[in-house]
Amino acid sequence: MKVLCFGSLNIDYVYDVPHFVQGGETLASRSLHAYTGGKGLNQSVALARAGLEVYHAGAIGPDGEFLLELLREAGVNTDHVERLTDVRTGHAIIQKNEKGDNCILLYGGANRSITRQQIDRTLAGFSGGDALVLQNEISELPYLVERAKAAGMLIALNPSPMDDTLPPLLSSIDYLLLNEIEAAQLLHLETPGDPEEMTKCLLARIPKASVILTVGPKGSFYAEEGVLMRQSAVPVQAVDTTAAGDTYTGFYLGGVFNGRDPSWAMRFASVAAAIAVTRPGAAPSIPSREEVLAKMKEMEE
Ligand code: RIB
């Protein structure tokens, strides 16, 4: 199986702050670091490190070449990434507080220049039985889902950031992986409810899919028709939670696409995400398959 991750490539500017800046407030940050990021890029790295054959499609501007180097180092094929000359690479302004939590402001840049022509050219190299992994940081997502479905590809969606274009796509999705804020938004709840209940309600919307809800230190929940499971989180001291969800997504899919059952894949993904939050940055924090397997073995002893 080939896995195509069609998604964003961002430069992440991470500012260490004592607290998230409020409306009308001017706040001095303590430091600035630039990292490789973007939910698409992070998930491609995680999918590849989890042991899959991964192709990344997307777009960068003239300032984004180093993002492709990182993907290639992780073993990801970058032939389907377009280099644009008239637009900047996407970026994210990330505030990181003392607990390692973040809030993220996106500038789409080249990620919003994906065209139907690029989608058609890319999908020509994939067929039924291959998988498509998506987030919501690129343009033309509805067209991409429609064409991939018509080609018989399996589709995994991480609906982040949430917006009105996503609910109509859900009926085409085979794997829905999301956090509790996205789940609450999809279910029109003002604040996240009980995770088990939200997982069940999401499955009721897409009964043929698998739904995987991550709830940070409270673990993760899985539902498919007739099955409901919970996986505890691995307790760690977090320094930076950026890309924890992307790491979980890549390793969960890495498990199931390599033939493991959902319960094993949830453990694999939870351990990978736990390791990622102990390190700074997005893509650079994602562990290798060997590290994750060694930690799983240590936990079983
Ligand atoms: O999920 C984390 C990612 O979200 C960051 O790397 C940032 O670029 C945004 O896309």
Q: What is the pLDDT of residue 110?
A: 98
Query: Residue 71 phi/psi, 5° resolution?
Result: -60, -45
Mutate to test the pocket of ligand 1, among 104, 134, 178, 279 (most ligand atoms within 8 A of CB): 104
Q: Which of 9, 10, 11 to mutate to test the pocket of ligand 1 (most atoms within 8 A of CB)?
A: 10
What average pLDDT does range 35-45 have in this prediction?
Answer: 97
Q: Is 10 in the pocket of ligand 1 (CB under 6 A)?
A: yes
H helix runs in 124-261, sequence order? 141-150, 180-186, 195-205, 244-257
38 CB under 6 A from ligand 1? yes
CA 70 – ligand 1 centroid, Å: 15
Q: 115-126, pLDDT tens digit by residue? A: 999 999 999 999
What distance lies between CA 199 and its chain's CA centroid? 18
**Joined tokens for residue 265:** 């894949």
Evaluate whether 270 touches 292 at the Cβ level (below 8 Å): no
Q: What is the pLDDT of residues 201-251, one digit of tens each?
A: 999 999 999 999 999 989 999 999 999 999 999 999 999 999 999 999 999
Is residue 273 within 6 Å of ligand 1 at its C-beta?
A: no
Residue pLDDT, tens place only, 98-118: 998 999 999 999 999 999 999
Query: What was the pLDDT predicted at 301?
Result: 83
**How many domains is the chain partitioned into structurally?**
1
What integer pLDDT is reported at residue 292 of this predicted model? Answer: 98
Q: How sure is the predictor about 77, in pLDDT bands with cuts at 50, 70 and 90?
A: very high
User: Which residue range is the domain that position 158 belongs to?
Assistant: 2-300
How far is ligand 1, taken at its centre, from the CA of residue 137, in Å?
Answer: 9
Query: At 288, which CATH number?
Result: 3.40.1190.20
In angstroms, rounded to a whole number, what is the distance separating the alpha carbons of residues 12 and 9? 9
- Measured in Å, residue 41 CA sits from the centre of ligand 1 at 9
Task: Read off the pLDDT of residues 194-210 as tens digits, 9 standing for 90 and up.
Answer: 999 999 999 999 999 99
